[in-house]
Amino acid sequence: MKIINKIQTAKLLGRGGAEFPVAFKWLSVAKGHLKEFNQPVYVICNGAEGEPGMFKDGFILQNYPELVIEGIKIAMDELGADKAYIYLRSDYLKKFKNILKKQIGKLPIELTAEKIGYLGGEETTLLETIEGDRPEPRLKPPYPTDFGLFGCPTLINNVETFYEIAKIVRGEYENKRFYCISGDAPKKGVYELPIDMSIGEILKTTKNVPRFEYFVQQGGGAAGEILTQEELNHPVRGAGSIIIHNLQKTDTRKLIKKWVDFFFAYNCGKCVPCREGLYRLKEMLDGGEEIDMVLLRVVLRTMRDTSFCPLGKSVYLPIDSMLESVKVIYKNKRDKKML
Amino acid sequence: MRKVTIKIDGKKIECAEGKSILHVAQENGFYIPSLCDHPDLQVKANCRMCVVKIKGRNGLFTSCSTPVEDGMEITTEDREIRRSRKTNLELIFGEHHLDCDNCTWNKRCGMLQYQKPVRAKITRFPNRKEKRPSKQFGPIIFEGKKCIDCRNCVEVCPVEYYEIENRGSDISIEPSKSKDKDCVYCGQCVVHCPAGAIKSDGEFEEMEKVLALKKVEKILVAQFAPSIRTSIGEEFGMPYGSIATDKLSAALKKLGFDYVFDTSVGADFTTTEEAGEAVERILAGKDLPIFTSCCPSWVKYVEFYHPEFRKNISHARSPQMMLASLVKNYFAPKQNIDPKNIVMVSIMPCTAKKYEASRPELNFGNGLKPIDYVWTTRELARVLMNKKIDLKTIKESPADNPLGDPSGAGVIYGASGGVMESALRTAYYRLFGRDLEKVDFEQVRGEDGVKRATIKLCKPVTFGADKCVELRVAVVNGLKNAKIILDELKTDPKKYQFVEVMACPGGCIGGGGQPLPTTEDIRQKRALSLYQIDKTKKIRLAHQNPQVQQVYKEFLKDKKITKAMFEVDFVPQKKSEIKIKK
């Protein structure tokens, strides 16, 4: 419990994008274990990192594999897990297999491949994948902390989260996180900076303030929110990604289409709003015709409000914030023909 | 279970903890639209139609997957909820080919039910699946252009014949290409599909053609199955479980059938034969346990998946086949009718009966088919409606003699356990030459998946009470449960002596040819009415039926005729072809 207290004191939030309090998750697993004491406990390190504009987990695995393994080991000891999995997107698995194996040594930690991209990183889809079932999200509740892998209490944390746990236990945690800066940024890359630094500050510190007019997508290159130059005085929300878009060079319709194509390619087909909504969004954007904005918004809202899992729910935010930003940027000039 | 108090649209409701909001709401008369939810199946929450709001929580929640909690306050409808549902419904219509005149739901599907009040635009999105083909396997037709991807069929199929292919909007439900899997035609997918995307061969197209045969001087003969008398009323708005035996005969006559017989009389013959065979085999200890043979899906299941048990299946033909044998070989000559001129139409609660009637092993020695057409309950209801014959108001008239008046035993064939119970009643007679005093065998009734019992049959006291026979029986309700019993038999071959299996839940009253919807509640009402009929019948033992006795006396004089009329050897089955239709 001492370690969970330390994590709690550090106020560590999950670094996979959902920003769930880590200590709370660990406690839930511990409680789940108490309920079913005979059952094994599993620890899973999620390195699926499937969103465009996200590459910090790869960076961490490349540069700090020992800290990641140390974090996993701490979790296993603390929660009484007999086995852990490191779940990696296939190119990461190829690239870091040897580095990780060296660090793992004889520990009961297995490397396993993510199979379908993007949605594969969603935690219940991850469980189905490891169990060998059709990779699709599960109904929640029950939550993985209670009823996870093979029905056992399971801790699923992101690569970066395990890195931070090792730092916390070592007493080296500095309230920092990793940011991926990409797009039309002059100095693309991964930067470790304070968690409460504003986006504007981050761009300044990393010498990434463009000389051209621009806007930003923060929190992931598909599901992230669009912010205008005037909206950068708060920290990054969600996944640690900042993508800079050159205003002059960006065709907003093409950009939206790119997101929709991305979600379309990775939706699993389980629920109506996501499967059918994405099909219709794609249909609207694929054609050259003017888009029925009312219909577009109705479909997006229905997806946000009724989709089964985060994939379908998250299509709304980038498109809506893009449309709102366009209004501001072009001062309503193109309102009628926004796309 | 603990009770909790919740509020739905302001109304206080006490209910069991852990139940879904949807089911509590439905039980209390609130309407929440839902498509993929089915009380027989697991919660999937795929269609997203049943969303509601919960006070104090952000967003919308699918009521099918959210259990009630004490103090919960639920809103079942407001502008936001309506907008979401309406859009989802319009999206669903965008993957569904409309063909309401030829639909198993007969315009009562959940999609139309919600479409009307919210005025959802059916054509908001053109059907993106219009070019998907239909696939036919045996008598089952799966229409890809109507499928709304809910996956009920995948889950309900007892042999896991349906597979999910591809992802995203390319997802499609496909019949298995595996050599080791074949459809058993039970039609549970048909009655669990919310979109009417699965039907049986002939559904809603063939009936007029059959009726027109009268014009070319054919004699039209109908028989109707035990379970239909308590289900067909539903199609005409009658309450669940309404008994419509004589209305059914009257309607069939009005439709143009020259003779109408009751398959329950066929069941009385099946019982007589099967009980005789069972007693013989049990006393001789040969090929035990004996399996009932009247469910064609079960028979095909054994033949295809477990051929090692083929010898266990009773040789007795099913009731519809026995009755057809008698119609063409006993009744026809009696009436001076050439059997070739008879068109035998069998009204069944079942899709697999269409397959059974097409099996060549069941043809007569001269190659003549016993049954020419099999209609489902739904098909008969539809043709009656087309002809404006209202079952509700039609004047009753009984079925024809000599094959129209069954015993109570013949009627309960329609419910799970009914075949076993009928056989036990007659087996007793076969064992002791006396009739049972108390004929009810409650142990084998009901909706449990597997019913196991040891039945002690004793000679009546006045007759010398020393002799008893103990029968170890099992009744399997739903083909998914058959494997349990077969596995038990693999480890202990002597565990049972007599096993009844019905592929459909509840037996034929829950059959794949029955009206939609079908749920445990509805099945129970249909079954109870069958037992009600049995209870009020003067004759409740198959072998006591005077019509049965008469036929044995007049016609079935020797073993050879009986064998030709009533027996069959089942053969191993190969995987059936999947036909693709544009």
Task: Say if residues A273 and B49 touch (Cβ distance below 8 Å).
Answer: no
User: How far apart, in Å, are the Cα atoms of B12 and each of B9, B21, B51, B65, B70?
Assistant: 9, 13, 20, 21, 11
> Does A139 sit within 8 Å of B88, measured CB to CB?
no
Residue B446's region, left for phi above 0, alpha for psi from -120 to 50, else beta, is left
Helix (H, G, I), strand (E, B) or coil at A187: coil
Give contacts of A266 with chain B, Cβ < 8 Å: 168
User: How far apart, in Å, are the Cα atoms of B244 and each of A28, B392, B399, B405, B511?
Assistant: 58, 9, 12, 14, 18
Nearest CA in chain A to B62: A306
pLDDT in tens, A19-54: 999 999 999 999 999 887 889 999 999 999 999 999
B361 is catalytic: yes
Q: How many CA atoms lie within 13 A of B558 on its CB side?
A: 1
B84 touches chain A (CB under 8 A): yes
Mean pLDDT by 10 residues, chain B (582 residues): 94 95 96 96 97 97 96 97 97 97 94 94 96 97 97 98 96 96 98 98 87 90 98 97 98 96 97 94 92 97 96 96 96 95 97 96 92 97 96 96 94 96 94 89 94 88 69 96 96 96 98 96 97 96 96 92 91 91 80
> Does B125 sit within 8 Å of A301, measured CB to CB?
no
Q: How confident is the model at residue A1 (pLDDT cuts 50, 70, 90)?
A: low
Taking any CB pair shorter than 8 Å as contact, residues of chain A touching chain B are 116, 134, 139, 264-273, 275-280, 298-299, 301-302, 305-308
> Residue B469: its pLDDT value, please?
85
> Does A298 sit within 8 Å of B47, measured CB to CB?
no
Q: How many CA atoms lie within 13 A of B507 on its CB side?
A: 32
User: How far apart, in Å, are the Cα atoms of B169 and each of A107, A115, A124, A168, B174?
Assistant: 42, 19, 21, 44, 14
CA atoms of B474 and B504, how far apart (whole Å): 16
- Quote the pTM value: 0.95
Tokens 């356990």 belong to B417
Pairing of β B140-143 and β B60-62: unpaired
pLDDT in tens, A85-103: 999 999 999 999 999 999 9
Q: Which one of B95, B234, B277, B379 is the catalytic residue?
A: B277
Pairing of β B290-291 and β B498-502: parallel
Give contacts of B48 with chain A, Cβ < 8 Å: 271-273, 306-308
Q: What is the full DSSP assignment across A111-135? A: EEE--SSGGGGSHHHHHHHHHTS--
Q: Give me the count of residues in chain A.
A: 339
B297 is catalytic: no
- Among residues B224, B228, B316, which one has the least CA distance to residue B269? B316
Task: Say if residues B159 and B184 touch (Cβ distance below 8 Å).
Answer: yes
> Does B125 sit within 8 Å of A298, measured CB to CB?
no
> Residue A339: its pLDDT value, please?
58
Tokens 């559904």 belong to B203
The answer for residues whose C-beta is within 8 angstroms of residue A103's C-beta and 6 or more apart is A65, A66, A68, A69
- Among residues B358, B398, B364, which one has the least CA distance to residue B224? B398
Residues 113-132 of B with CB under 8 A from A: 125, 128
Task: Say if residues A310 and A122 touch (Cβ distance below 8 Å).
Answer: yes
Q: Which one of B353, B354, B451, B525 is the catalytic residue?
A: B353
Nearest CB neighbour to A264, from listed B59, B95, B168: B168
Q: Where are the alpha helices (DSSP H) in chain A?
A: 2-10, 22-35, 56-63, 65-79, 90-104, 123-131, 159-170, 199-205, 252-266, 272-286, 293-306, 310-313, 316-329
Pairing of β B578-581 and β B498-502: unpaired
- Among residues B532, B25, B51, B545, which one has the least CA distance to residue B269? B545
> Does A269 sit within 8 Å of B171, measured CB to CB?
yes
Dihedral sign from CA coordinates of B219, B223, B229, B234: negative
Residue A331 has pLDDT above 80, yes or no: no
pLDDT in tens, A116-158: 999 999 999 999 999 999 999 999 989 999 999 999 999 999 9
CA atoms of B190 and A277, how far apart (whole Å): 27
Nearest CB neighbour to A270, from listed B46, B49, B80: B46
Q: Which one of B314, B325, B346, B422 is the catalytic residue?
A: B314
Chains A, B: CB pairs < 8 Å: 87
Nearest CA in chain A to B90: A276
Mutation pick from B48, B61, B128 vs chain A, by most beta carbons of A within 10 Å, is B48
Q: What is the full DSSP assignment across B486-540? A: HHHHHH-TTS-SEEEEESSTTGGGG-TTSPSP--HHHHHHHHHHHHHHHHH-S--
Q: What is the ipTM of this complex?
A: 0.95
Token duo for residue B412: 């309960």
pLDDT in tens, A271-318: 999 999 999 999 999 988 889 999 999 999 999 999 999 999 999 999
Residue A335 has pLDDT above 50, yes or no: no
Helix (H, G, I), strand (E, B) or coil at A104: helix
Maximum pairwise Cα distance, chain A? 65
Nearest CA in chain B to A271: B46
Q: Give me the count of residues in chain B.
A: 582
Give contacts of B59 with chain A, Cβ < 8 Å: 305
Dihedral sign from CA coordinates of B410, B413, B419, B424: negative
φ and ψ at A40, to 5 degrees? -70, 165
CA atoms of A277 and B173, how far apart (whole Å): 19
B470 is catalytic: no
Maximum pairwise Cα distance, chain B? 78
> Residue A336: its pLDDT value, please?
44
CA atoms of B234 and A333, how far apart (whole Å): 61
**Residue A229 Cα, gap to closest chain B Cα (Å):** 30
Helix (H, G, I), strand (E, B) or coil at B542: helix
Cα of B491 vs its chain's centroid, Å: 31
CA atoms of B249 and B501, how far apart (whole Å): 29
Helix (H, G, I), strand (E, B) or coil at A110: strand
User: Which one-letter DSSP state was computed for residue B116?
Assistant: H
Helix (H, G, I), strand (E, B) or coil at B102: helix
CA atoms of B77 and B509, how far apart (whole Å): 35
Q: Which one of B143, B235, B273, B274 is the catalytic residue?
A: B274
Token duo for residue A98: 């040897």
Residue A332 has pLDDT above 70, yes or no: no
